[in-house]
Amino acid sequence: MSKRAKNERKERKIIKVIYKLFVVAIFLVGITTVLSIAGKNYVRNDIKDKTNLIINNSNVTSSLKKDLYVENGIVYVAMQDIKNFLDNTITYDEKYNQIITCSENKVASLPVESREISINSSNTTIKGMVEKKDDTYYLPISELGLVYNISTNYIEETNIVTIDSLDRAYIVATASKNNSVKYKPTNISRTVAKVKTGETLVIANRSEYPVPEGWVRVRTEDGILGYVKENSMGRQNEIRSDMQKKQLIEGKVSLVWDYFSEYVSAPDRTGSTINGINVVAPTFFRLKELGKGEILTNIGEQGRRYIEWAHSRGYQVWASISNESKIKTTSEILNDYKLREDTINEIVNLVIKYDLDGINIDFENMYETDKDKFSRFLIELEPKLNEIGKILSVDVTAPDGSPEWSLCYDRYTIGKVADYIIFMGYDQYGESSNKAGTTAGCGWVEENVRKFLGQEGVAPEKLILGMPFYTRLWRENNGKVTSSAKGMNQIESTLPSGIEKTWDDNLKQYYVEYGQNGYTYKMWIEDEKSFSAKLDLVSEYNLAGAGYWRKGFETNDIWNLIAEKLEIK
């Protein structure tokens, strides 16, 4: 054999070896890839050494702060975990040694180590009780279905607890053949359960985790979560649909407060129409001085006719309840659960008795130290109003003010709890001010709207902008300043004729100043033009609407402006 032939043969052998090595390498890469994919589909993060908890088809066991346990068939969950998953407002009431917990339309008080509990102020007996272990309170969750509107089931065979919210959609299907439930939606994934023909499966698809086409995420009768092929299941049946929230105002809220003192009857509005509004807030209710929650009413026959008139015009009635700035009276109620409960129950009874559509809480001048207690009062009031389908609105002042008039409100929590939070956008310079100034400059109002939406975390669809139908006439002499409130309808008759008005484009108001009898008088005028600028903020920031303090101070032309700006028909 020639030398050339030998070299060619040698080269062919080398090429074959390289080819075989290449094929082996490709094979190993393929095997590695398959094993990697299979590994991901086979490796499971199941927690097998403790009872698993599945809430609304999500396994939350790894997120529990404390292990749940089952005792005599009753499922116990730690208070910290109730706070995390079911009620972030749950609290321990030291004075009465009880747990207070709320849901959408229930308030429950559970005395520690007692089977007697109260749900919406009705006493009942349950099989379990709140237990304290290692400084942790455990609630008998399986006994609290009525409180949280849930269904709890313990599956002993798999050591799984399932909790389903009864206000959420619940869809089931029947397995049309024997099948394997996969850990992941792929044929090469590990089998986590076997289902037989006719077995009922809960559809557990979740919008935040899209399921590939052809697969369905399910929960078996044993509580195991996984995936099955869609063609292995029968028709899906919706056992219940998502519960609808109570109906609020359609479009923008346009509310006017109708003020009358405790010594005056409700105004007679028979035969009249207020253009541009859909809510009236008559001042029907007041707290009794140190009355331990007693509410003074000022309705009578005239008030009943007022409510009938409002409803006949299509207006909702959100009656106002005021604490009349009684700081000690308010504090006494807020700091005692039983007094809060009595006050709340009286409010609810009054709403039902007089066929009101909602309540407007107007508590002002409170201790800053009572801020959280005021939030608790609202947290415990809202569920009881929800139960009867009524609206809760709460009046608050501008942020960053004095302790008793501004810092006493947790606006973020109020904005979460109440249906509406009303910013009383007035008294930028009020009666007690030692400096003359505007009642509600547009720049100041807008700045505070931004604070509500920004630093206070209030959703725009919850925020109603309160606006004044009044201003103040200031009188200055030798450094002393006094003022008196003037309704919009009094301004022209109050000012001297022919006086020059100067437009302030930041305040969006006309300003006047004049001398008379040795005094200097100043006024920042509220009129149709200034009101229009503030109403524009409602649209600009997409707020829930506007409110107006108060009926009787306005000029007649203002209502058409409001109707046009807020599109109220």
* Domains of the chain: residue spans and CATH: 52-153 (3.30.457.10), 169-240 (2.30.30.40), 253-469+526-566 (3.20.20.80)
- The 69-71 sheet, strands edge to edge: 69-71, 74-78, 136-140, 131-133
pLDDT exceeds 90 at position 29: no
The predicted structure's pLDDT at residue 429: 98
Over residues 287-316, the pLDDT tens digits come to 999 999 999 999 999 999 999 999 999 999
Over residues 60-81, the pLDDT tens digits come to 999 999 999 999 999 999 999 9
Mean pLDDT over the full length of the chain = 93
161 vs 242, higher pLDDT: 161
Report whether 421 contacts 396 (CB < 8 A): yes
Strand partners for 53: 161
| CA angle, 159 then 165 then 169, to 5° | 115
Query: Which pLDDT band holds residue 34 (cuts at 50, 70, 90)?
Result: very low
Cβ burial of 411 (10 Å; 0-12, 13-18, 19+) is buried
Mean pLDDT calculated for residue range 453-477: 98
The predicted structure's pLDDT at residue 207: 74
Distance CA 269, CA 280 (A): 12
Query: Which pLDDT band holds residue 269 (cuts at 50, 70, 90)?
Result: very high
The predicted structure's pLDDT at residue 522: 98
Q: Which pairing describes strands 225-229 and 215-219: parallel, antiparallel, or unpaired?
A: antiparallel
Mean pLDDT calculated for residue range 394-403: 97
pLDDT exceeds 70 at position 3: no
Distance CA 342, CA 319 (A): 18
Task: Report the run of H or E that residue 493 belongs to, with start and end.
Answer: helix 491-494
Task: Report the run of H or E that residue 36 belongs to, with start and end.
Answer: helix 3-42
pLDDT exceeds 60 at position 40: no
pLDDT exceeds 90 at position 30: no
319-343 exposure pattern, b = at least 16 Cβ within 10 A, e = fewer: bbbbbbebbebbbbbbbbbebbbbb
The predicted structure's pLDDT at residue 194: 96
Helix (H, G, I), strand (E, B) or coil at 451: helix
pLDDT exceeds 90 at position 398: yes
pLDDT exceeds 60 at position 22: no
Query: Which pLDDT band holds residue 244 (cuts at 50, 70, 90)?
Result: confident
The predicted structure's pLDDT at residue 441: 98
The predicted structure's pLDDT at residue 567: 97
Tokens of 370: 């009572």
- The 480-487 sheet, strands edge to edge: 480-487, 470-477, 519-525, 509-516, 502-504
- Within 8 A by CB and 6+ apart from 104, the residues are 149, 167, 383, 386
The predicted structure's pLDDT at residue 243: 83
Is the alpha carbon torsion for 192, 197, 203, 205 positive or negative? positive
pLDDT exceeds 50 at position 41: no
Cα 404 to the center of its chain, rounded Å:
25
Share above pLDDT 70 across residues of the chain, in percent, rounded to a whole number: 92
pLDDT exceeds 90 at position 236: yes
pTM, whole model, 2 decimals?
Answer: 0.91
Query: Which pLDDT band holds residue 1 (cuts at 50, 70, 90)?
Result: low
375 vs 569, higher pLDDT: 375
Which of left, alpha, beta for 61 (phi over 0: left; psi -120 to 50: alpha)? alpha
327-334 vs 371-387: helix crossing angle, rounded to 10: 70
Over residues 321-338, the pLDDT tens digits come to 999 999 999 999 999 999
Residue 132's alpha-carbon distances to 125, 339, 364, 497, 548, in angstroms, are 19, 26, 38, 76, 50
The predicted structure's pLDDT at residue 547: 98
14 vs 412, higher pLDDT: 412
Question: End-to-end alpha-carbon separation of the chain, Å?
Answer: 107
Report whether 249 contacts 546 (CB < 8 A): no
Q: Which pairing describes strands 358-362 and 316-322: parallel, antiparallel, or unpaired?
A: parallel
pLDDT exceeds 50 at position 208: yes
Distance CA 431, CA 99 (A): 43
The predicted structure's pLDDT at residue 116: 98
DSSP output for 198-252: T-EEEE--BTTBPPPTTEEEEE-TT--EEEEEGGGB---EEEE-PPPPPP--SS-
Share above pLDDT 90 across residues of the chain, in percent, rounded to a whole number: 89
Task: Report the run of H or E that residue 35 belongs to, with start and end.
Answer: helix 3-42
Distance CA 337, CA 317 (A): 28
Mean pLDDT calculated for residue range 540-562: 98
327-334 vs 337-353: helix crossing angle, rounded to 10: 100
pLDDT exceeds 90 at position 35: no
* Least-confidence region, from 204-208, 317-321, 357-361: 204-208
Mean pLDDT calculated for residue range 454-462: 98
The predicted structure's pLDDT at residue 20: 61
